[in-house]
Chain A
Amino acid sequence: GAGVSQSPRYKVAKRGQDVALRCDPISGHVSLFWYQQALGQGPEFLTYFQNEAQLDKSGLPSDRFFAERPEGSVSTLKIQRTQQEDSAVYLCASSVRQGGTNTEAFFGQGTRLTVV
């Protein structure tokens, strides 16, 4: 079935490189989330979109992190000048309605970023 798709699955970047991570949410899902999951930890919230509007970016760790969803479907998380501490799995999730605590979020398999 068509779930949340993320690409690439794995990315190795040299320190200082820029990277772009892509998320294809489930078709028709209004809400889209990005999370960062460090090794052995739980996911931590980065940012949230409702359609094309970025309503919450409080979790972005620095101004090197930027996310966009220009047409309200596919989203890209960009990290500029990558640092070793950026190494993590980046998870994308989408949900059908605009937030609400009863709305189930469906997760992609993530992109594992390793900065060397």
Chain B
Amino acid sequence: GNSVTQMEGPVTLSEEAFLTINCTYTATGYPSLFWYVQYPGEGLQLLLKATKADDKGSNKGFEATYRKETTSFHLEKGSVQVSDSAVYFCALSSTAGNKLTFGGGTRVLVKP
């Protein structure tokens, strides 16, 4: 079956530091890949997505590239802000289905 593995947190960074959150997946076929973010007190929000190999998703300074050869979709941001403090979830949706399979989430705390 489908599965998503992401690095455990919490990840604590200083403002303007570089952020990487690793995500690898197992899936049949050619899934679409997503990063969702959950800010304190809010619901899950789509951050970015990629639907085929070598696609790069980007939003709000975050980027992730769909790497089929390594089955990975690592999230990166070059210079984090305090407002980026949140829980980040990597997820996939299989070609045939509608449901999302999520990783366990990574809590990121950015200190001023």
Interface residues of A, Cβ cutoff 8 Å to B = 3-4, 31, 33, 35, 40-45, 48, 56, 59, 91, 93, 95, 98-105, 107-110
Number of A-B contacts defined by CB within 8 Å:
63
How many angstroms from the CA of A4 to the CA of B89 in the assembled complex?
19
Ordered nearest first, which 3 A-B pairs have the shortest CB separation? A42-B102, A99-B98, A101-B32
B69 at the interface (CB under 8 A from A): no
Contacts of B91 in A (CB 8 A): 42
| Chain A min CB distance to B106 (Å) | 10
Q: Is the CB of B97 within 8 A of A99?
A: yes
Bitwise, B17-59 to A at CB < 8 A (1) or not (0) is 0000000000000011000100001111110010100000000
B99 at the interface (CB under 8 A from A): yes
B93 at the interface (CB under 8 A from A): yes
Interface of chain A, main secondary structure: loop
Q: Is the CB of A4 within 8 A of B43?
A: yes
Most chain A CB inside 10 Å of its own CB: which residue of B36, B44, B98, B104: B98
Contacts of A108 in B (CB 8 A): 43
B95 at the interface (CB under 8 A from A): yes
Q: Is the CB of B46 within 8 A of A105?
A: yes
Q: Is the CB of A33 within 8 A of B43?
A: no
28 A-B pairs in the complex with CB atoms less than 8 angstroms apart: A3-B43, A33-B98, A33-B100, A40-B105, A41-B104, A41-B105, A42-B89, A42-B103, A42-B105, A43-B44, A45-B100, A45-B101, A48-B99, A56-B99, A59-B99, A98-B98, A100-B98, A101-B51, A101-B95, A102-B51, A103-B98, A104-B46, A104-B49, A105-B46, A107-B36, A107-B43, A107-B44, A110-B43
How many angstroms from the CA of A73 to the CA of B42 in the assembled complex?
23
Contacts of A41 in B (CB 8 A): 104-105
